[in-house]
């Protein structure tokens, strides 16, 4: 034993070195980390803007502008809207998902798509349809109606996906112990839906905080509508900045509340064997009420908006389809949508790569910075970029670059989540195998990793594209002079009560959004293994 040469030790060291070399990302971990840090710092510009404006205003000014009756009124409106709308979205989302996934409902495949369809109709188009059909519609009740019909699919889609992958063996065991159908649902199924329900509720609440067009059209005041009025009247005055600070605080409270309600419980299935098929409960005499309820939801959320848009198109005649009217807005929308989606994917890639291939507390912290920023309303991001571009880089104010940067910050998590899933399905060993066959690390990365993650990147780009097509608030604040997207052109016409002139833009947004919504629905089913 004493004559054993130390060669294995040297070889082992060489193996470790070789393995370390093979594991190095094509651009190097340090370069990727530096790039991800720069992206994270860039994404914190809106939050830094809010903090800076609050601190520089002075405590006396903050109290004067925040502690006043108008802020109390806006706060009451916003909180009431959330407290009423979120439970209604939960009721429709969970109830619809249960009927589609766990009952013998007739036509359930068709209803599964129909319940996701309202996402293809922007909330401000929904508001336009309802306000032009019922002109007296206004206030909290109107805001709740339109918001519920527009946003309940944000709860329905994740809950339906979760129901599709729950192991029915747990429910069968509970039933064998004497629990009835309602007992099984309340004590077994509902707790397993908590993550999907809290996540969907958070999305609904954040949309309620950020929505401008839908509520402005029905004359319902929220923080976002009030900030826009302040900006238009005083161009980013102190009062608007303080309202933005309160709005950001509400966003942070919602994120904190969702994390607490989500909890740390896990509901994964561990064990051998195939998962059983879910038991579909017979509706019996409840079949007709269930069908009528779903039909009512479909008519109110999709039927009335489509009918209203088509009605105004027919009333406007062929002249509303003159290419000179809508073609520039369509082309600019497609240009910004495609450019913003591509840029967002490129910006998201370094962070997604670090999160999957070099996971650590550092990479998770970088990710968190993007999620915090994206939770802010578009109007806050818009105000931040207006102020920063004017004071720091005046030459880029109201340029396409600033608008694209705002789109990236607002919708980066949509790309990040998809890229992470795609990179997770591209094993590192395949990259190493390509290098062992003579490919350089850079070539192996492009031929293997990038190729395998391309479908997920395309899915993320599609979701970002959908968001950009329907984005209104940040576009109104940051778009260069002469820019007319479908959303801003629609808003200009509808604000002038030119419902016939606004109809083509509304229809085009719906037509563009429909395939993207279908893609989102299919991705959720794929994630559920269905």
Question: Which pLDDT score, from 0 to 100, does residue 26 have?
Answer: 45
Q: What is the mean pLDDT of the chain?
A: 81
Q: Which residue has the higher pLDDT, 204 or 277?
A: 204
Question: Which pLDDT score, from 0 to 100, does residue 23 have?
Answer: 47
193, 159 in Cβ contact below 8 A? yes
Question: Which pLDDT score, from 0 to 100, does residue 525 have?
Answer: 64
Distance CA(414)–CA(462), nearest Å, equals 9
CATH of 317-530, one of 3.30.1490.20, 1.10.3720.10, 1.10.10.10, 3.60.21.10: 1.10.3720.10
Question: Which pLDDT score, from 0 to 100, does residue 326 have?
Answer: 84
Distance CA(515)–CA(120), nearest Å, equals 8
Tell whether the model's pLDDT for residue 228 goes beyond 80: yes
- pLDDT, mean of residues 302-317: 92
Q: Which residue has the higher pLDDT, 431 or 127?
A: 127
147, 123 in Cβ contact below 8 A? yes
Identify the band that residue 19 occupies on the pLDDT scale cut at 50, 70 and 90: very low
Question: Which pLDDT score, from 0 to 100, does residue 261 have?
Answer: 76
- pLDDT, mean of residues 354-367: 77
Q: Helix, strand or coil for residue 103?
A: strand
Identify the band that residue 299 occupies on the pLDDT scale cut at 50, 70 and 90: very high
Tell whether the model's pLDDT for residue 162 goes beyond 90: no
- DSSP secondary structure letters along 350-391: HHHHHHHHS--HHHHHHHHHHHHHHTS-HHHHHHHHHHHHHH
Least confident among 42-51, 176-185, 309-318, 497-506 = 176-185
Name the one residue in this structure whose structure tokens are 């890229």: 419
- DSSP secondary structure letters along 434-477: HHHTT--HHHHIIIIIHHHHHHHHHHHHHHHHHHHHT--HHHHH
Distance CA(465)–CA(387), nearest Å, equals 26
Distance CA(227)–CA(436), nearest Å, equals 59
End-to-end alpha-carbon separation of the chain, Å? 59
Q: Which long-range contacts (CB under 8 A, 24 or more apart) does 421-424 make?
A: 421/456, 421/527, 422/452, 422/453, 422/454, 422/455, 422/456, 422/457, 423/352, 423/353, 423/356, 423/357, 423/449, 423/453, 423/456, 424/356
The Cβ-side half-sphere exposure at 116, using a 13 Å CA radius, reads 25
Question: Which pLDDT score, from 0 to 100, does residue 382 have?
Answer: 87
The Cβ-side half-sphere exposure at 108, using a 13 Å CA radius, reads 18
Tell whether the model's pLDDT for residue 62 goes beyond 90: no
- Work out the burial of residue 478: count CB atoms within 10 Å of its CB; fewer than 13 is exposed, 13-18 middle, 19 or more buried: buried
Model confidence over 98-117: pLDDT tens digits?
999 888 899 988 999 999 99
Least confident among 22-36, 249-263, 394-408 = 22-36
Least confident among 265-269, 291-295, 328-332 = 265-269
Question: Which pLDDT score, from 0 to 100, does residue 468 have?
Answer: 93
Tell whether the model's pLDDT for residue 42 goes beyond 80: yes
Question: Which pLDDT score, from 0 to 100, does residue 435 have?
Answer: 66
Question: Which pLDDT score, from 0 to 100, does residue 392 have?
Answer: 85
CA 377 remoteness from chain centre:
12
Return the top range by mean pLDDT from 78-92, 461-475, 493-507.
Answer: 78-92
Global pTM reads 0.81
Least confident among 10-14, 49-53, 308-312, 427-431 = 10-14
Identify the band that residue 15 occupies on the pLDDT scale cut at 50, 70 and 90: very low
Tell whether the model's pLDDT for residue 31 goes beyond 80: no
Alpha-carbon Rg for the chain, nearest whole angstrom, is 26
Question: Which pLDDT score, from 0 to 100, does residue 386 have?
Answer: 87
Domain 68-264+286-304 indexed as CATH 1.10.3720.10: yes
Question: Which pLDDT score, from 0 to 100, does residue 323 have?
Answer: 82
Neighbouring residues of 400: CB distance < 8 A, sequence distance ≥ 6: 336, 480, 483
Model confidence over 510-521: pLDDT tens digits?
999 998 888 877
357, two tokens: 């291939």
- pLDDT, mean of residues 466-471: 91
Q: Which residue has the higher pLDDT, 316 or 301?
A: 301
- pLDDT, mean of residues 186-215: 86
Q: Which residue has the higher pLDDT, 517 or 237?
A: 517
Model confidence over 117-142: pLDDT tens digits?
998 999 999 999 999 999 889 899 99
Q: Is 398 left (phi over 0), alpha (psi -120 to 50) or beta?
A: left
Tell whether the model's pLDDT for residue 426 goes beyond 80: no
- pLDDT, mean of residues 501-530: 80
| Nearest one of 449, 444, 462, 472 to 518, comparing CA atoms | 462
Least confident among 17-26, 101-110, 257-266, 508-517 = 17-26
Neighbouring residues of 195: CB distance < 8 A, sequence distance ≥ 6: 162, 262, 267
Distance CA(377)–CA(447), nearest Å, equals 39
Torsion sign (Cα): 242, 244, 250, 251: negative
Same fold, 68-264+286-304 and 317-530: yes
Tell whether the model's pLDDT for residue 87 goes beyond 70: yes
Question: Which pLDDT score, from 0 to 100, does residue 83 have?
Answer: 95
- DSSP secondary structure letters along 37-49: HHHHHHHTHHHHH
Identify the band that residue 269 occupies on the pLDDT scale cut at 50, 70 and 90: low
The angle, 0 to 180 degrees and rounded to 10, between the axes of the packed helices 153-165 and 194-210 is: 170
Distance CA(96)–CA(290), nearest Å, equals 9
List C-alpha distances in Å: 282 to 24, 186, 276. Answer: 56, 18, 18
Question: Which pLDDT score, from 0 to 100, does residue 307 have?
Answer: 95
Q: Helix, strand or coil for residue 281?
A: strand
Identify the band that residue 274 occupies on the pLDDT scale cut at 50, 70 and 90: very low
Model confidence over 145-159: pLDDT tens digits?
999 999 999 999 888
- pLDDT, mean of residues 173-185: 71
Sorted by where each begins, the domain ranges of the chain are 68-264+286-304, 317-530
- pLDDT, mean of residues 299-315: 94
Q: What percent of the chain has a predicted confidence (pLDDT) above 90?
A: 30
Question: Which pLDDT score, from 0 to 100, does residue 156 have?
Answer: 92
């Amino acid at each position: 034993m004493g004559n054993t040469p130390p060669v294995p030790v040297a070889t082992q060291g060489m193996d470790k070195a070789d393995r370390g070399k093979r594991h190095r990302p094509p651009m190097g971990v340090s370069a990727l980390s530096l790039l991800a840090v720069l992206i994270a710092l860039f994404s914190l510009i809106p939050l830094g803007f809010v903090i800076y404006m609050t601190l520089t205003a002075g405590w006396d000014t903050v109290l004067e502008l925040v502690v006043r009756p108008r802020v109390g009124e806006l706060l009451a409106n916003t909180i009431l809207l959330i407290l009423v709308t979120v439970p209604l979205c939960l009721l429709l989302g969970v109830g619809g998902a249960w009927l589609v996934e766990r009952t013998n409902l007739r036509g359930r495949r068709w209803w599964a798509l129909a319940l996701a369809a309202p996402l293809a109709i922007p909330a401000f188009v929904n508001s336009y349809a309802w306000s032009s059909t019922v002109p007296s519609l206004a206030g909290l009740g109107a805001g709740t109606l339109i918001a519920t019909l527009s946003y309940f699919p944000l709860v329905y889609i994740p809950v339906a996906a979760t129901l599709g992958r729950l192991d029915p063996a747990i429910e069968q065991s509970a039933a064998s112990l004497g629990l009835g159908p309602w007992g099984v649902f309340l004590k077994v199924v509902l707790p397993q839906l908590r993550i999907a329900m809290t996540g969907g509720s958070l999305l609904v609440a954040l949309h309620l905080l950020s929505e401008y067009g839908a509520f402005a059209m029905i004359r319902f005041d929220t923080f976002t509508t009030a900030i826009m009025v302040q900006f238009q009247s005083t161009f980013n005055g102190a009062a608007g900045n303080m309202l933005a600070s309160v709005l950001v605080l509400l966003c942070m409270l919602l994120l904190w509340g969702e994390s607490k309600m989500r909890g740390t419980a896990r509901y994964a299935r561990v064990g051998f064997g195939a998962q059983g098929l879910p038991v579909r409960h017979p509706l019996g005499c409840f079949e007709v009420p269930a069908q009528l309820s779903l039909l009512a939801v479909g008519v109110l959320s999709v039927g009335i908006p489509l009918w209203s848009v088509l009605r105004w198109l027919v009333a406007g005649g062929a002249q509303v389809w003159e290419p000179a009217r809508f073609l520039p807005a369509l082309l600019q929308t497609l240009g910004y949508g495609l450019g913003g989606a591509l840029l967002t994917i490129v910006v998201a890639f370094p962070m997604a790569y670090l999160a999957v291939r070099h996971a650590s507390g550092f990479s998770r912290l970088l990710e968190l910075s993007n999620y915090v920023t994206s939770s802010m309303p578009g109007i806050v991001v818009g105000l931040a970029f207006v102020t920063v571009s004017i004071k720091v880089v005046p030459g880029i104010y109201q340029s396409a670059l600033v608008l694209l940067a705002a789109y990236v910050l607002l919708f980066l998590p949509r790309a990040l989540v998809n890229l992470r899933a795609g990179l997770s399905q591209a094993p590192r060993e395949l990259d190493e195998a390509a290098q062992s066959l003579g490919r350089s690390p850079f070539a192996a990365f492009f031929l293997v990793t990038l190729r395998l993650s391309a479908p997920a990147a395309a899915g993320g780009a599609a979701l970002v594209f959908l968001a950009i097509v329907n984005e209104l608030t940040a576009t109104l604040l940051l778009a260069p002079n002469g820019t007319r997207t479908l959303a801003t052109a629609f808003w200009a016409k509808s604000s002038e009560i030119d419902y016939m002139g606004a109809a083509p833009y509304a229809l085009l947004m719906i037509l563009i959004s429909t395939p993207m919504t279908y893609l989102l629905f299919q991705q959720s089913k794929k994630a559920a293994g269905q």
